[in-house]
Structure 1
């Protein structure tokens, strides 16, 4: 027994000595002291082992630089002596006698680089912490006297700041490299400017190269391509002394490196568990270049030429303008000046009011002046000030005004703000006449189809006008009271008789389609306005639950890729929703029709794919509520007169609270077989990755021109997903492309879309990209796509399965139907 106790004591002492040694080694391994220097070929490592400090050489260079890197040398996040390289391997890092951290040439003792802090303590240490920050600390006071995060190179990492001191004007800015293999300071730099409405500027030497537009607490208004997902965790802080922008992740398995490239672009590498999940470069087109079209010149990259003048303006120098030299911009036409004084009109003094041209999806000009206040005050306040040239509004910024030349104007395909440009009253009147003239020649697009969008019902407004006796006759309306009154009060109310007249008594000849909710009819109102009327069928498998769900879920949403609700009717026991009419019906009416699919060339299909993705992005990220659609399919994508896609049918949609990875569970699995991801169909689990899966199916259908649920092209009866996966593994994926649209010039774009589709239908939800990443992939800002993993598909279609497609072989005409698969 004594021998046993002796052995235990000996083991305990050994472990204690080992632990003590390991602890000492760990603490020394991340620190440089006055007695411990760092030589070339040596490194110190942060305590969490994620970061290292040491000397390195760029590719094709023998110069030596002291740097910090994440995981490996290729992920360099900081460089000390970027402009004072060592020419050999004789460098050494140490604490100098004055307490500064220095890089010395070990052969001659020459100081190559120093932290250059005055009044330092002679007793200091430098430590590489777990954030990748190299900290120089005064050991006597414990105060940090210098750190690498405050002296960045070309890269920002979590908790690092880009800042401007309001008092001294001192900036923490980022400076790009000269080239990928030359880390010395290049001509491009990034800093935070315009502290009243802060935004990030990228400079080329002393000239503004590009700017993000102001930060509104969530996004940069002038940078819609910098999507919300990649701004998650960012925050802008305005202290008394300093304005700074920083970011961090709640999920500590994530890390990111945002760098300024040698060409003045932003590049983001995002990691999860030390593996790259995102590699994106935010490119710049010509219109992104600061002031490309000069003062008052509007830049639109989708037009040729890209620069134009607004109504009431003309080129400052017509000769230069004709030669595509737009730097002098536009000026007001002669005679079109502001009317800020009383004018004699018809012998009496009247105030002839100026007005505004409304330009949508605009980048806000530079030099913003702002004021707090309601949106309705922006216009009147601007008109009351003769020096005010334009105004705009953002809920988080307030009213924005411009009193100098409008510089750096740009028209975006999406995002931006509505910019109101001040013009004389005659310009407004002329513009109004032109619009009215155009309306007489253009068929107004409205909704068609079954699932429509954005529903709110004003039954309560009707009830308030009805007698108690009338309410007793319609007890089913009582469900629309209570907490839903606020929603219902906001809907326009349609008269049943007028809807009946508009649809010719709901004549079968006006039926656009029929789905689970009931039939949808085309209607023409007395004023010639075309509408789509969705009428709840008495025998419908759906009912008031789906009806009210659309109301409560999406009553406030507006987006160009979502169908718009016009109003409702709840008279005579009816439950009717009225939508904008879509003259081109639904996507499947074109896509799967052998005669109609020729109309959908690749350009149209590509635009449809991107439009659907942007609609989903709005639902998942940019709307006030996070919404999962749960029934995305070709028949629920409607097409307006310009073939712009509109997502419809939100009867099955759900609001989801929480983060992007949050899942919800339902005992009632509803949707369309073939578009459901396996985790939803089998277990009732849905998340935003459910919609991503459905979008992936849609994408493959659009590229191939074939249905997923009726694709039989193999002895094993593979679905379209299974067949695509088989072709991918055989390196023959080009065979999937619809012969009607195949074009060698667009082959790479088509193959890219197929790969994105396969990434979206991967079996495991966590492996699928979120919709923000999908949009970036589609617009080619993620240059390298990862290979897809195992996809989810079914080999044999089970004929007994209840499907929302009653006939897989028939073409749908907005036939939104419903299937229920009860999960285990």
Structure 2
């Protein structure tokens, strides 16, 4: 099995394949539902094979629950099989192919293989090979328009087979062969439909480039190749076989590799509304494309153009002698006059966004190909001038705004609209008089932070609460909005409940449930010989294990269980409160960020550096963080729970004051044989302390504090590892 990374954000799919030849990947389960790193593929007790993402959501499943599955096997053919107690096959990957067929694999009528988007993106792409009842077709996957076909038959087709040295098409009635494509010089193992639309056979040789069999499907030919993507989307193939991007309408996707295609200078609007009035068709006489003449309608040129403009999924058309072919995607074009002479009389129309004036010039019926270097130079000069002008305008606007806007004094109450966010189950707004009554005029102070003071309070029903007063009007407002919007809209047993909020003068107030056993740091770092008035008794390993699990559950909920992902950004023992049963609750969401989810994409947040030194992930230096920043902070806390001392992420060369036994460096844990010396000494006296469990917890903690955020597990995976390590607790 392989966890295939899809791109630099470590988004991927689960697939498998041999190490030799082309096929580093021959099957993908979750083509259009990529997963993050540290996903889990699991054969469950009910017989269902499930791929779970790092947040426990199901990305793919075999849907074989209750069907008597007792085992799984990956066969030499590349077929992944689930079988029953009588060794019968219940499910197989061969029944749901991706873009590749292996030797011995059959494709039945109605089944198809679909190309990937690119060699790094395994989502379903633009082309498919489909077995129909009377032919085998190469089609555009979005529209079903054919660009090639093979094995036309008056008899019903039964299956397509891949064999050693050939592929063959067989009758349904008796399984006899109708026709075949042979390549005796190649010991074939795989038939693959590439992202370009090419169809190739691969053998056993490492780095085998494969043999194209597209000639058997497509009659037309361009100097660059018979398949649609030979020059990529919107690419132009010259008579000499060169892929270029005509300067009149496009620019290179990657100038170093012209075969990757072009991008339009004036792309049509992405919105599917009003596409007819927002687009126009640019005419290119003499241009044609691969194989598309087979699926056409018999209309006039104006009807052809009008139909495409009304169809938001149409990206262009080919027109010749009343034959109109709509293109769902515009791939390689070439000049048919160069290939066949003027008798073809074909014209291509490419859909683009509207423009005020035309700068298109097509002398002699062809698109003029401009010098790309001049165009790029001119574009760079224009872009620089625009950026410079915009910067000047922005500076002047900011200066005028600051001059015209009076400075805030902090003495005015914030607007009531700002303080009453609308969301379901919002906490209650408390007037200042009510806050005074709850706290006894703010008599009993429980603690003080950098921007806040916490007071004890009692509600009318006798229940205890904590009232946090944010002191700084400027900093406090941001913290206030963050906490009300974040914790006010979510509820979990391992998160402190926000019961109310209010404002008066320059202060903002948050009313929390009262948590009896103070914060975790009071229990971890206060020793018997300290003169700390809040010093606590020793926490047992059982309680520490439960605390670690509770924190992990709370963070996993914030990252994956809410409608929008919540990043806490300040996880530390001081922000972990303990109730009467020593259940842990995460508090202080003053630095939290609420991030709207984007399907399967890794979310990065650009923000100013915030948090507590020692618990801040290294990527804060770049102000570009993800949920992995919370994972890093949790890793530090996890190591502190085991050691009972502050753990600092210092390099090995860093020096800690001699004799300061309250501090450990992270790298002190990296040699397992030394772990015994770094465990809280009080734990070693416990009869129930399990050193093996402690080692596993430390291992998880070290994974969490990896310097590279992409190599840290998600909180969902962390929680699963802790559950396995502490299964007996």
TM-score, normalised on structure 1?
0.38
